[in-house]
Amino acid sequence: MNKDKKVLFDVGMHKGEDTDFYLKKGFNVVAFEANPELVQFCESKFSTEIKEGRLVIVQGAIIDSELDTDRSNPNILFYRNKNMSVWGTIDSNWAKRNEKKGTENEIVEVLKIDFKVCLEQYGIPYYLKIDIEGMDRVCLKSLLHFQQKPDYISIESEKVSFKELEEELGLFTKNGYDKFKIVNQQNIGHQKEPVNSEEGRYINYEFKDGATGLFGKDLPGEWVGYSYAIQHYKWIFMGYKLFGDNGKITNKFLRKIAFKVLRIFTKQPVPGWYDTHAKHSSVI
């Protein structure tokens, strides 16, 4: 299986916030989206690129085919969030969690997608961006079946269970990724594309809310090893525990002091939300 340096995967296309960036940088894109309304929106938004063959949209929900107990049914239930379209998921536990935050879901049926089959069909991308609520690790598990790997991967990191966060990083290492950057997505609007961009052409792009941002060689900061990444996430999870959705510290004065302490160690806004970017060991 060959790897195409000109092809990127956008797994979790949403409204095309990342696909737009990748296409304008000069890459070809294979994008995945489960929400039929968002697929229709993006088919209209990127109609020219689709006609030119620069964009392929795969419609449906990526599932863990190994756990599929109803293989005769090509469809699966998808919880489409009426308030936060980015929170659509096939994971009922995630859907319930989002409802506790005051949002409402409606259930629709969508096609099942086997990510391993898609990798066989479309090839191994240069960069793989993953952001699908509750199913991110399925993509990493699918890569275990292939000798070739993307040079770079990003994944929306787990923020509830530290054990599952360790499992995410463990899947990275099993796939041969040994360098990491932990990126606070709260800061994406402030990212600046380097003028001497090494990832496609320079376009002076302005990132919007919901975008993943820079990737690969253009990503700011130093690449770190597994041990440092785990330690850094321990501080981040402390921030989640104290100031997250169900944070323990509610007193404004105590929050202010704790914010300052945690920012010293994490060097990031607290609690924020994070993506893990990984570089494969074969990349110099």
More confidently predicted of 98 and 123? 123
Q: Is the pLDDT of residue 268 over 60?
A: no
Instruction: Give strand pairing partners of 105.
Output: 81
Q: How far apart are CA 279 and CA 149, in angstroms?
A: 10
Per-residue pLDDT tens for 59-109? 999 998 888 888 889 999 999 998 988 888 988 888 888 888 889 999 999
Per-residue pLDDT tens for 217-257? 999 999 999 999 999 998 888 877 776 555 555 556 565 66
More confidently predicted of 280 and 267? 280
Long-range CB pairs of 239-248, under 8 A, 24+ apart, other chains included: 239/266, 239/270, 239/271, 239/272, 240/159, 240/160, 240/271, 242/271, 243/270, 243/271, 244/159, 244/271, 245/101, 247/271
Mean pLDDT of 252-271: 60
Backbone angles phi and psi of 78, in degrees to 5:
-120, 130
Q: What was the pLDDT predicted at 172? A: 97
The answer to whether 31 and 55 have CB atoms below 8 angstroms apart is: yes
Per-residue pLDDT tens for 125-183? 999 999 998 889 999 999 999 999 999 999 999 888 899 999 999 999 999 999 999 99
pLDDT confidence bin for 43, thresholds 50/70/90: very high
Q: What was the pLDDT predicted at 166? A: 94
Question: What's at 255, amino acid-wise?
Answer: R
Q: Is the pLDDT of residue 258 over 70?
A: no
- Three state DSSP letters for 173-242: HHCCEEEEEEEEHHHHHHCCCCCCCCCCCCCCCCCCCCCCCCCHHHCCCCCECHHHHHHHHHHHHHHHHH
Q: Is the pLDDT of residue 259 over 80?
A: no
